[in-house]
Amino acid sequence: MHIASLPGPFGIGVFGEEAISFAKQLQKQGMRYWQVLPFTYPGMGDSPYQSFSAFAGNWLFIDPRRLMKRGLLTPEEVVSCEYNVNKWRIDYDFLRVQRVEILRKAFARADKKLMEEVDKFAKDNKWVDDVAIYQAIKDDNYQNAWWDWPDEKLRNCDKDAISKIRGTENYKYHAFVQYIFLDEWTAVKKEINECGIAIIGDMPIYVSGDSADVWGCREQFKMADPKKVSKLLADYDKEVKKAVKEGGEDAAKDVRNVKQEALVFDKVAGVPPDYFSADGQLWGNPIYDWDKHKKDGYKWWMSRIEESYKLYDYLRIDHFRAFSSYWEVDANALTAKEGEWKKGPGLEFFDTLDKKFGDRSRLIAEDLGEFTPDLAEFMHNVHIPGMRIMEFAFNPGDDSSYMPHNFNKNCVAYTGTHDNNTLLGWLWDSPEHVRKCCLEYCGFEGDNWGEGGTYSKSCRAIIKTLWMSHADVVIIPIQDMLGYGGDTRMNTPGTATGNWIVRFTKEDLDGIDNDWYTNLNRIYFR
């Protein structure tokens, strides 16, 4: 369950009492882990996998009540943060305006002692300095992408130009926000861990093109040839002017979105056609220049993992297979079909990681998608637990590796993830022969497979079968614990809108049959 999906009065889940209450509920059930989605600020399509920074935290998770306890907000201002229009959906349009106003007020009341702590935090953490500079420049440039900033020196990270940003109020504000985010989460996580619950975090493999990461470290990515770009940009400017003349600013904006990013990056990320999409998925994230990363000992990556270990007890790396081989697409391609496989950094990356952190025991590999012989060998040699998804398993006559009796011990197994339909939704949407195969395998009898809720017999039969498997760790989405349908699905890959907005109420969570899970964990020694 994503932090954003927690109940509470503020229109989105926060680092507050609701998070601690949920951890206590998990403790009561005999659970040991709570897996969350990335803590990064949501970007395009409200996705936490498309953030402006691989390091910065989502300030929407900051609890206004904790700011009040610090003396930074009044009770009336906390009440003004409440959102009661819809308890089951997140309204990001509302939050992005309202929460910034509140955080600005809190920042204005920060005393000298607190700001000294913030200043030290920014000096001690390069990523904080980068993010604060980047966001401060963004504020002054109408949130345009960094390659669209008119000031060439700021666009190209000129040291003298960006040093002047550090003294601005905007810089201090963004550093303050990141300090508060981490400080609040550290306190909440301590209480969660004291309940015996470990946090499994999630790291997107790629970063967004329009991000502090690429802006500040573009030598680490496959960027377009500057000589080629300078000529193309001149043509691009002509196209923009022509679009303004013929169709106005909106038309020019469309030209910018479609044209200029392809001039900035040489290669972008995606995946080939698969279970989710016949055309593959063209993510558009810039591709790492792994040769450059290797030369400096993967310094940027080691820093990224180190910061993630401060947030989470364990770390799932999304699209892990890219360390073995990744799908590379020309930046101007129309679909991911036009890409090709390229070799990733391989085991050497993890040898470097072992030297930095001692071992790799805190990592989980999201190794889903097209399975190739090189990936099988890589996963065997890297010895990091991979993932198994029950919803992928049930094609009659196919002894799939996703069927629980085939799970190896060194894996983390799920009914489904945030990218899958809910269990109940999947049962309803599956072809009859697939549904029948699943229900027979899981020992479900009767004709009421479509009934939902926390007492759903079909969902329970599947969850119980998962718990019986050899997998070291088994995890279910909160939707499956509740027995909810596809209308509570978190994300549908390949779709741009309507994702990442699902929430649950206190009444939803209070209605869960905790005793059933307590017994399940006791019976199967989970």
Contacts of 445 (CB under 8 A, 6+ apart): none
Catalytic residue selected from 63, 183, 261, 419: 419
CB 378 within 8 A of CB 323: yes
Q: How far apart are CA 196 and CA 33, in angstroms?
A: 8
CB 61 within 8 A of CB 13: yes
> What does the CA dihedral 66, 71, 73, 74 come to, rounded to 10 degrees?
110
Compute CA 145 distance to the chain's CA centroid, rounded to the nearest angstrom. Answer: 21
Q: Kindly report the backbone phi and psi dihedral angles of residue 198, in degrees, each rounded to the nearest multiple of 5, phi listed first.
A: -95, 145
Q: Catalytic annotation on 370? A: no
| Residue 509: both structure tokens together | 């969570």
Q: Catalytic annotation on 237? A: no
CB 303 within 8 A of CB 358: no
CB 476 within 8 A of CB 465: no
Q: How far apart are CA 346 and CA 296, in angstroms?
A: 16
Q: How far apart are CA 364 and CA 451, in angstroms?
A: 33
CB 90 within 8 A of CB 500: yes
Q: Which helix (H) or strand (E) holds 306?
A: helix 299-311
Reading phi first (left if > 0) and then psi (alpha if -120 to 50, else beta), residue 518 is in: alpha
Query: CA distances (Å), 355 to each of 298, 360, 365, in order?
Result: 12, 10, 19
Catalytic residue selected from 46, 266, 318, 391: 318
CB 407 within 8 A of CB 413: yes
| Residue 294: both structure tokens together | 């290797």
CB 464 within 8 A of CB 456: no
Q: How far apart are CA 50 and CA 211, in angstroms?
A: 9
Q: Catalytic annotation on 250? A: no
Contacts of 275 (CB under 8 A, 6+ apart): 369, 392
Q: How far apart are CA 369 and CA 376, in angstroms?
A: 12
CB 107 within 8 A of CB 135: no
Contacts of 152 (CB under 8 A, 6+ apart): none
Catalytic residue selected from 213, 261, 366, 480: 366
Burial of 457 (0-12, 13-18, 19+ CB in 10 A): middle
Spatial CA neighbour of 382 closest among 321, 327, 328, 341: 321
* For helices 169-194 and 299-311, angle between their N-to-C axes, nearest 10 degrees: 60
Q: CA triplet 459, 463, 467: central angle to 5 degrees?
A: 170
* Catalytic positions, written as ranges: 318, 366, 419
